[in-house]
């Protein structure tokens, strides 16, 4: 199945080869979980601060299985002052 991945800020370096503009596509096995996707992209779990699937916050439910065509957006921690 195919998943679109959108990575932001410092996480962009984890995009699959051939990606551009902070987004890329990945062919993955059926019923891959969000956690497995994060691991496949070699993103340290503590850096996956906010994860959206199809624009909805999954509330850190990384066991959620993904489905073909879904869009996963991953944001790192943000600091400000």
Architecture of the structural domain at 2-75: Roll (3.10)
The mean pLDDT value for 3-29 works out to 96
Residue 2 in contact with residue 27, Cβ under 8 Å? yes
Residue 80 predicted with pLDDT over 80: no
pTM equals: 0.94
**Per-domain boundaries in the chain:** 2-75
pLDDT tens per residue across span 31-74? 999 999 999 999 999 999 999 999 999 998 999 999 999 999 99
Dihedral sign computed on CA atoms, order 40, 31, 48, 20: positive
């Amino acid at each position: 199945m195919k998943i679109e991945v959108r990575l932001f800020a410092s996480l962009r370096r984890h995009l699959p080869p051939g990606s551009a503009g902070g987004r890329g596509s990945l062919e993955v096995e059926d019923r891959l979980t969000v956690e497995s996707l994060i691991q496949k992209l070699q993103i340290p779990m503590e850096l996956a601060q906010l994860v959206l699937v199809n624009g909805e916050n999954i509330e850190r439910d990384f066991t959620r299985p993904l489905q073909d065509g879904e869009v996963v957006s991953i944001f790192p921690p943000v600091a400000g002052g």
